[in-house]
Amino acid sequence: AALPASLPMPRLQSDPALQQALLARLGLDPARPAVAFCPGAEYGPAKRWPERHYAALAGEFAARGYAVWLLGSKKDHAVAETIVSLAPGCCVNLCGRSDIAEAADLLAASRLVVSNDSGLMHIAAAVERPLIALYGSSSPGFTPPLSPLARVLSLNLDCSPCFERICPLGHLNCLNGLVPQQVIAEIDFATLAGG
């Protein structure tokens, strides 16, 4: 059957008291504005924006006074550690330190989310946070973030979307070529500062 012309947007609620308790448990300063990065992708590396790009973006946010939280599962811990090492003092690795409901609370507590096409990207959309969704081997035509607050970035190369776990051409140009400056250009820092 054909899909309805208008699909309802998914919505998740986050309890502010639970958010505050979680921030305290993780040693995060609730007074400091935060952005959340979701650098993992369960499907494979062809959906992961390069660690060096996330690190450069973390440096930009840290220079503007933001805390940068790296969120994901235990499987994403090593990727996040690489980002931390490339951007010393700019971000905190929270991968594997929260369950999925707590990750939703952390996303809801952030001012902005930058994410690969992943489960956490969809959760960020559902908790109604401003979101920049990065696409490489997958397509926003099939798995878009369902939120009016989301902006999709994709280079739309001839070789993408390939839907492969690993770049079949060995260059991952679809994500390597999507540079941090393109993400920064999508961010309204004045609006973020206002909360």
| CB 66 within 8 Å of CB 87 | no
pLDDT, residue 102, reads 96
Residue 182: its pLDDT value, please? 95
Cα 95 to Cα 123: distance, rounded to the nearest angstrom: 15
Tokens read off for 85: 């090492």
Task: Scan for tokens 């699909």, then name that residue.
Answer: 7
Q: Closest Cα to residue 115, out of 133, 97, 136?
A: 133
Order of strands, sheet of 67-70, starting from the edge strand that comes earlier in the sequence:
92-93, 67-70, 34-38, 112-116, 131-134, 150-153
With a cut of 50, which residues of the chain have pLDDT below it? none
| Residue 3 pLDDT | 65
| CA dist., res. 28 & res. 40, Å (int) | 21
Q: What is the pLDDT of residue 111?
A: 96
Amino acid sitting at position 188:
D
Give me the pLDDT at residue 22, please. Answer: 97
At residue 121, the 3 state secondary structure works out as helix
How far is 103 from 19, CA to CA, in rounded Å? 10
Taking a C-beta distance cutoff of 8 angstroms, is the pair 133, 149 a contact? no
